[in-house]
Every structure is written in C-alpha cells, then in structure tokens.
Structure 1
Amino acid sequence: MSIQLLSRTDDFGSARAANRAILEAADTGYVVRNVSCIACAPYIEEGAELLKKYIHIDIGLHLTLNSEWNGVRWGALTDNRQITDDRGYFFQTQWELAGRKPDVDGIIKEYDAQLDRLTKLGLSAAYADSHMGPELWVTGLAEAIEDWTLKKGLISARNYYSVAKQGQPPFTDKDEVYLKGVRLWLEGLQQGRQYSYVTHPAVGCEEMRLFYNEEIPAGVIEKQRNQEYMAVTAHAWTKWREELDIRPVCYTEAKEQGDGLPILKSMLNFGKK
C-alpha cells in the first residue's frame, strides 16, 4: 500500500517570494497538493489569478489572527479593535491576542471576511487551517472554528494531522544536506499510512530578510524557507515517489485522522512563551 503524503504549503500571499516558490511547486506537480492562503496578506491578490489555474491543487483558507514578523505585517479585514494593535495590525503572539479576551463571534466575522475575499479573488477554498493556532489560547475558539467550517462546507484541517515520529525534515546549514534529510525522512515513513508534510517555501532573497522578530534574527527564515522551496521543487521527487511508493494527496481525498488539537499543541509548543 502506498504512503499517502498530505502535502501542504502555507502562507501563500505573504510575500512575492512565497508566491513564486509555491506557484513553481504547483507547476512541477511533484508533491504539493494543498496551498493555504492568507487572505489578508499583502500579495494574495496578485498571486490569486495564477494559483487558481492549478486544478490538481486544493485551496485552503489559512485562518489568520496573528502577524508575527517585524518587517512585514498584516491586519484584519473587519473593523475589530479587539484583535488588532493600535496601528491596525494583528498581534505578533497568540498570548497577546488572548490577553485582549476577544469576542469569539467577532473573530468568526473576521473569518467570514477572509473567506469572502478568497472567493471574490476566484479561489474556491476546500479546507481551512489555522495560522499559529490562536484557538489554543483563545477560550471557545477551537469549538467555534469546528462549527464554522462545518457551516461553510469546508474541511477542518485540524482533523487530518498525522505527524511522523521523527517530526518534519530538519533544517541544516547546507542546502544539499537538507535535501538528503528529506529523502531520509521519507524513508522513515510506513507503507499504508497517511502523513502530514507542511512546508512554507519561499525563494531566498532580500524580501525574505524582512521575516524576522525579537526571537528569530533576519536571514534565518529566508534560509529555511529557501531550503523548503528547493525541496518541494526538486526533480528527485519523481524518483522518490516511485522508489518509496509515495502518493501525494489533497485534503478532499485524504482520510480524517481524528481530533488533531493535541498534535497542534505539540507542534506549536502550546503553553510556552
């Protein structure tokens, strides 16, 4: 039985470098089958026209309430002062947002606006997933998201997480070593199982040096996301898929795995500041 690889790229719209990398990955058709879009990000509009032509890709709404970087920011599509700072940007951390004790109904209205924007841009969302998991910090939000996705006819991505014991491929100092690490990671997957493979590819360039904050120096995200860009566009996937019997899948053809909140907590180091 094949290894089902639920391969997803996040943060489409966050930067031109991200759009370029994700569109190239979609164009190759090697591995990416799901693209999560930040509807309130600065470059979603200019990338949408190109993204919607890929019929083998499931489009997702990357439910966004945080804007974590210093050099590039985004804010709400609704006039909700509970979920933005004095400049109108989303808070950088989940606990800053939770500290404002935002009304969940107001958040759902923001999600409505984000979904509407994707729809108006011609992007028909099949699923919804969460950027930075604020539902782990905001009381009642996790349940509200489940109700909202059901009402909107969307797949709730949280119920599809299945993470390998070895986590995700580790970043390295050398790009060629990282690519070898991806191959080793794939070799550790079990036949007949479904695994999540979540990346944030972006072309390494000056624009990506804006993705930094007090905890992550400039250049770190640029390098990591460039390595993921190299990985998801690597021609080696044609060989890997055949040799290891790997089948990339969309959310619309994947199997539910049960409530993924515990996995999300582990991935986001829930409770640690």
Structure 2
Amino acid sequence: MRGILILGLLFFIGSLSAQTLAERLGYKKTDKLLIINNDDAGMCHAANTATIEGMENGFISSATIMMPCSWSNEIVKYAKENPDKGFGVHLTLTSEWKNYRWGTVAPRNEVPGLYDEQGYMWKGVMEVYKASNTEEALIEGRAQIRKALDAGVPVTHIDSHMGTYQYSPDYMYVYLQLAEEFNLPVRMPSQSTLDNMGAPPFRDICKEKGIIHPDYFIHEELQNYKTENLEEFWTEYIKNIQPGVTEIYIHAATEGDEIRAITGSAPKRIKELEFFTSDRFRQLIEKEGIIVISYHPLFELQRKK
C-alpha cells in the first residue's frame, strides 16, 4: 500500500510539473496571456500620471517603480491605495539622463562604486560593471525592495532598469538571489534570447528555486521599434503572440514640459500612452483573443508554492 501511495504522489507531482504556466494560473494551455508593464514608474511625474491613466483607462496591467527617484513617493502612494494593481520594483543601478539625476537608496558609504564623479549613479551599464561589483548590486537591490515594502507597496515582482542586473551573468545571479530572498517573480529573457547571449541556463535555475517568470519576453524585436512605426510595430507583435504568458514593456508618459525636458525619447513615451489606452488597441486584443493580466497571478502562484 505504501508503495502505491508513493507512486501516486510521484505521478501527481509529475502531472503538475507537466502543466504549462498558463494552466498553473488557471487558464487553458492554448490561451494567450499578456502582461503590459510600464517601466520607469516613479522616475518623474509624467511617468506616474501615465501609469495611473494606463491602469485605470487603458491596458497597462503592471508597472515597476524606480525607488531611488524622488517622484517614487507619488506612485508609491497610489500603489498603497490600490493594492489590486500590479506594482513591482524596477531595480535601478544607473541614472542616464543629462540634467535629471539620482543616487542610491543604500547609504553611499556602503555602495561607493555605484557613484560617478558628479555624485550620481553612473549613466551606463558598462560603467557600472567597471566601477562597481555584485556585492554593491546586492546591497542596493535589497535596499530598493525593502524601501518599497516598508512604504506599504504590495510588491508583485522585480525587473531591471536598463537591464543592468541581467546583461552580466554575475549580476543575473544577484538578481535571482534577490528574487529568492524576497520570494518574488521576475522578468526573465525568453529562452531564445538567453541562447543568443550564450547565457547560463537561468530558466532552469529559476525552476529549481521556485521563481516564477513569464514564458516570453520581448527583446531582440525592439531593434526595429521607433516612434514613427509604434502602432504598426505593436500591432504586428500582438498578432504573433504565442499561447502562454508573454511580457512586453513600455515607458509611457503624459505630455508636458517635464518629460520633454528630461528625455529625447519623450515623443515615443507619449505616443505609447496614447496607443495603449486607445480603442484601436482594445479592438486589436479582442480580435486576437488576448487576455491581459498583471503579475498578481504569478505572485500568488509563487507564494502558494
């Protein structure tokens, strides 16, 4: 009898592991699930108002907050007051703009390598890799997640601003350490992207650690993405989404002097908000049978495990 019970248990576990992520989330294997994440929430007021507009009147389903930025306080308040929305932490090790800069959340003496000669975070990813190290990335990542949690944000996931935690295998291990430590789902490159980069088997590592992530993530396709072809680009991409869970990311912002003073990419950010809150986009996802979800179901699945 005991042997039969053990065999039954093994069969049950095996059947669970054979399920797709969509099935584990309660959907059909053939369903096409889409997470639309607005990166850079908290970076400025325009990013915050676009996040709120997109969540309440459009199809932005998740957003990640840049906790080192002073405008993070505004979106943190909204996230606390709207726990049904999906907010994560946009782990930030760079400060890329010319006239609008920020420093770390952790005390400067604990992460001195993350500061440039002007007293701000470095502008580029390679500068971070050259001047800092993974220990400082771990300290700063912890500080940013803890700041969000301590402020009352119901954090659902983490991702990486400018990909700093993901373009280096050493930093990716830190990224997964943070995900495991705080028991949070992560943004993860598609397997094809990891293969193209010659990266270690990070998806297998996530599986071993019980870290949940979407099946697919847009990356290489963005090489052809411009303000001029924005609507055509996303329309074509949405039409080709595969069954399973896909994450795409945008940097939506509301029109105004602020965002135009900060970045030359303002026109694209403004146009992203317009498109992802439009009836045209609504009709597109309805026609393609796309189900828009947030990171909440992934977070809940990970916590159940």
TM-score class normalised by the smaller sequence: 0.7 to 0.9
RMSD: 2.4
Q: Deviations over 1:91-149 (max 9, x none)?
A: 0001111111x242232121121112212322121111111122356562211221221
Q: 1:157 to 1:208 in 2, by over 3 A?
A: same
CA positional deviation for 1:160: 2.7
* Aligned counterpart in structure 2 of residue 228 of structure 1, from 272, 276, 286: 272
> Where does residue 167 of structure 1 map in the other structure?
221
- Contact 1:5/1:195 (<8 A) preserved: yes
Q: 1:44 to 1:164 in 2, by over 3 A?
A: closer
* Aligned counterpart in structure 2 of residue 189 of structure 1, from 241, 264, 273: 241
How far, CA to CA, are the matches of 1:139 and 1:60 in structure 2?
22
Q: Deviations over 1:62-103 (max 9, x none)?
A: 111001110211111122211111332110001111111x24
* TM-score under structure 2 length normalisation: 0.72
Q: Deviations over 1:20-71 (max 9, x none)?
A: 111101112x422211100011200022212333344221111110011102
SS at match of 2:165: helix
> Where does residue 34 of structure 2 map in the other structure?
5
> Where does residue 90 of structure 1 map in the other structure?
121
SS at match of 2:260: helix
Give the letter for the 2:53 counterpart: E
Give the letter for the 1:228 counterpart: E
Q: 1:42 to 1:132 in 2, by over 3 A?
A: same
Select the structure of larger CA radius of gyration: 2
State how 1:103-142 maps to structure 2 within 5 Å: 103-136=133-166, 140-142=170-172
Q: 1:228 to 1:63 in 2, by over 3 A?
A: same
**Structure with the bigger percentage of helix:** 2
Give the letter for the 1:41 counterpart: C
How far, CA to CA, are the matches of 2:77 and 2:279 in structure 1?
25
> Where does residue 260 of structure 2 map in the other structure?
209
How far, CA to CA, are the matches of 2:154 and 2:55 in structure 1?
16
Percent of counterpart pairs with the same letter? 20
Quick check: 1:23 aligned with 2:47? Answer: no
Q: 1:254 to 1:153 in 2, by over 3 A?
A: closer
SS at match of 2:81: coil
Q: Unaligned 5+ residue runs, structure 2?
A: 1-29, 189-212, 300-305
SS at match of 1:160: coil
How far, CA to CA, are the matches of 2:31 and 2:166 in structure 1?
33
How far, CA to CA, are the matches of 2:165 and 2:283 in structure 1?
39
Q: Alignment length, in residue pairs?
A: 242
Q: 1:189 to 1:69 in 2, by over 3 A?
A: same
* Aligned counterpart in structure 2 of residue 52 of structure 1, from 74, 80, 90: 80
State how 1:54-69 maps to structure 2 within 5 Å: 54-69=82-97
- Contact 1:205/1:222 (<8 A) preserved: no
Quick check: 1:153 aligned with 2:183? Answer: yes
> Where does residue 130 of structure 2 map in the other structure?
99
SS at match of 2:221: coil
Q: Deviations over 1:202-229 (max 9, x none)?
A: 01322112334xxxxx3xx110101111
How far, CA to CA, are the matches of 2:226 and 2:252 in structure 1?
13
How far, CA to CA, are the matches of 1:113 and 1:249 in structure 2?
28
How far, CA to CA, are the matches of 1:156 and 1:87 in structure 2?
32
Give the letter for the 2:235 counterpart: R
SS at match of 1:62: strand
- Contact 2:160/2:166 (<8 A) preserved: no
> Where does residue 197 of structure 2 map in the other structure?
none
